[in-house]
Amino acid sequence: MHFAVIVFPGSNCDHDAYHVFRHILDVPVDFVWHGETDLKKYDAILIPGGFSYGDYLRTGAIARFSPVMESIIKEANAGKPVFGICNGFQILIESGLLPGALIVNQDVRFLSQNVSIEVDSTNSIYTRSLKKGRRLTMPIAHKQGNFIADEDTLNMLQDEDRIAFRYSKGRNGNPNGSKKRIAGILNKKRNVLGMMPHPERAAESVLGSDDGIDIFKSIIGVT
C-alpha cells in the first residue's frame, strides 16, 4: 500500500505518522501538502494531528476548505481508507465524512496524558487484526476532544457497530467526557476512521507503549 500523509499549516504529528509507515513498517509513504488536488495514486490517506490553521474559528473548520479536502472526500466516498487522528478526526467531522461534533473537554483544559482505550468493533480495516475488548495504551493531546451527538446518532453508531474505540472504564477513564466513552468512530462504509488518541505516538516500546502499531499493521494486513 502507498500512503499519503496530509500536511496542513499547523500539522505537528505528520512526521510521527510518516515515521511509522516508512521506518517501522517499511511501506511507501509521501507527505502531501494541503494544496494538492489529486490523490488517486495513493491507496490510503492519513490526516494527522496538530493544530491546523492554529485552530482558528473552530478545530478543523478552516482545514476542511483546503484544496486537498475535495479529493479526500471523493476518495473516501469511493471506498479508499481515510484515517484521521486527533485534529484529523476533527477535520473529518467538519467535512461531513463522520457524524457528531468534538467540543471542549468537560473540564475545559488541554489534556496531554496516556489513556486506556478498548477495541469495540473489529469490523474495519483498522481493527480487523485486533481482539474485541482489548485494551490499548496511547496518549491524547487535545482541548476539543469531547465527542457529542444527538441520541439518534449515538444509537445509530452503536447499533451499526461503528464505535471503533471507547475510553476504558474506571479511574481516569473518559477524560474528556465523550458521550458513550467514544474515542473513535467509523463511517457507514467502514473505510473512514476518526479517533482522538494518538496510535502513532504509541508505536514503539521506547515511547512507553507500542500498542498503537497494531492499528497500522491491521491497515496493511500484517499480524
Calculate the alpha carbon distances from 102 to 42, 47, 60, 183 in Å.
Answer: 28, 16, 10, 11
Which residue out of 75, 94, 142, 198 is catalytically annotated?
A: 198
Question: Identity (one letter) of the amino acid at 85?
Answer: I
C-alpha cell of 99?
Answer: 457524524
Catalytic-residue membership of 19:
no
Catalytic-residue membership of 198:
yes
Q: What are phi and psi of 33, to 5 degrees?
A: -65, 145
183-187-192 Cα angle (round to 5): 80
Contact in structure between 207 and 198 (CB atoms under 8 Å): no
Instruction: Using alpha carbons, select from 27, 186, 221, 167 the residue that is nearest to residue 100.
Output: 186
Which residue out of 86, 94, 118, 142 is catalytically annotated?
A: 86
C-alpha cell of 35?
Answer: 494544496
Contact in structure between 188 and 160 (CB atoms under 8 Å): yes
Residue 172 CA from chain centroid, whole number: 21
Q: Three-state SS for 128?
A: coil
Alpha helices (runs of H) in 39-109, residue ranges in sequence order? 67-77, 87-94
Pairing between strand 29-33 and 111-119? unpaired
Catalytic-residue membership of 2:
no
**Residues involved in catalysis:** 86, 198, 200
